[in-house]
Amino acid sequence: MTDQTQKSNGPKPDGVARRDVFGLAAGLAASAAASGLARAADAPAAGQHNASGVPGAPEVTDVIPTTSGRVQGLVNAGVHTFKGIRYGRSPVGPLRWMPPQKPEPAAVILDCSDFGAPAMQMATGATAAPETDFGMQMSRVFSTPSDLKIQNEDCLFLNVWTPATDSRKRPVMVWIHGGGFAYGSGGNPVYGMEDLARDHDVCCVNVNHRLNIFGYLNLADLMGETYRSSGTVGMQDLVLALEWARDNIAAFGGDPGNVTIMGQSGGGAKVSILMAMESAKGLFHKASIQSGPGLQVGRPANATKTAKALLDELGVAPGDIKALQAIPAETLVAAAFAAGKKAGPSPIPGMRGGGGGFSFGPIIDGVAITRDPFTPDAPAVSAKIPLLLGYTKDEMTIFMASEPWFGKLTEAELAQRTPLLGPKGAPLIAAWRKIRPDYSPTYLWTAAISAMFAMAGSITLGERKAAQGGAPVYMWNIVWETPVSGGVFKSPHTIEIPFMLDSWRRVPQYVGAGAEPAHMARQIAGCWVAFARTGKPDGPATPHWPPYDATRRATMVFDNRSEVIDDPHPELRKILQG
């Protein structure tokens, strides 16, 4: 056999390497070659993918040529799945904090049967370490505790799911994970896109990229002109991944001329920023921002102060880039947490940052990012891009449910906390009392913060996009409540993801059992796929969905019986915009 097979993953921490059938196959192939039994062929013939001849053995895909080299994955229940495709060179050593570079094409067939390494993570609290039995179950929805075991700077990998590697030119749906700019990966179970590809005949991609101090550390004023864009390299990674899709996705049955980028929470902010980046122009054609409206990015001066605090914690002098690059990744993360702790906690109870008191995120660097995404207006570079935009009813419950006060807050304690929300706090809580008279003080508190967190920014972003007039924006709000854990979460941040990605079957501990999750997926995935195909989210299981504007404010409200409501809860909107 003339070809070898290797993992496309980069180096892993000791004892954590992932191995499966491809590693075994490589060993068997080498042995067979030595005894003269190997078949001399570069790739299996079409349809001859179970080389072992054993029923139930993993089926393998065709070998697909890409700019990264030839790749081969597995066929899972009819979906051709390629995990851990390298789209960028390992950003380590002298490439740490540098713009991403395309990889040299591998000379061997790349094993793409398993996910590439997640980026280095900066997660805290129950996100990083489950505190309850239910938290342990949820770690198989959002698998940050597992990501922490195998995190690696060498993280520039993406995943592809497709019904077939043919020439059908299917819509391409690209998912950008959440976790702020601090943690997360495409390998989380809820982000799996296999069922979406199979059920809706679309080509799906999700991606890992640099995060936190590795993706957004502004060294421009501390380490010289070479590092003038170090504060945005995580976003530059995403542009490179989209370039990879443009150059390669046709070989996977996708249409490079019909790419939809989608993201939730931090992923939504990343989509917002991509819509304002000149380097991303032409790489996508539709966008979805979910509970993560990115109106602005950071400023260099504040980011420089944060970077200087990190250097001080490490004892590294400005200008000594070699010393900084020589420090192990784990040491850098520990120092960032230590420096962040000195900066102090969030003043709002229950709000936990991924980087302690510091926020590592993209800035206007004048190179990759030259303006705020949607302030003061919508960016001209994406004027022709249709947009899906929305938020959930109870965003903050998923963050606060593990707090000791959750479910126990008294009216007196609510009154004591309300001033922390500023002048809009008391009016918001009063408005929510009228809208949801059944809400306890705990849920009034979380509802007020939820409205400030995602509803306010989504409305502002939607207004600015609609006013631009170049392409429609479609607003949504999900009020369906998950029944799990006694209904404690109601309509939390992230709840639309298992429905729009059609991954709901894989996370019953989050969406519950019975007919309702399937029905919600038919509605929501149906709308997202219709949008990816046509630019209009008129799905087969929902009513006609008109565009949003500042006059009618048509909003799709997702529930067991979804409906379009004009300007839902105007009293909240007026307070938020006051």
DSSP calls for 7-58: E-S---STT-----HHHHHHHHHHHHHHTT-----SSPPTT---TT--TTSP
CB atoms within 10 A of CB 302: 12
Give Cα separations from 291 to 172, 196, 442, 496 (angstroms). Answer: 22, 21, 21, 10
d(CA 453, CA 564): 23
d(CA 79, CA 231): 38
Q: Is the dihedral of CA 363, 369, 372, 373 positive or negative?
A: negative
Selection from 543, 555, 239, 532 nearest residue 386 by Cα: 532
3-state helix, strand, coil in the chain (%, to 5): 40, 15, 45
Q: DSSP letter for 348, please.
A: S
288 among known catalytic residues: no
For residues 365 and 228, the answer to whether their CB atoms sit within 8 Å is yes
Write 125-128 long-range contacts (CB < 8 A, 24+): 125/352, 125/402, 126/402, 127/183, 127/352, 127/354, 128/183
Given the residues 8, 90, 113, 265, the one annotated as active site: 265
Strands 157-162 and 79-86: antiparallel
d(CA 29, CA 37): 9
Dihedrals phi, psi of 173, to nearest 5 degrees? -115, 115
Residues recognised as catalytic: 265
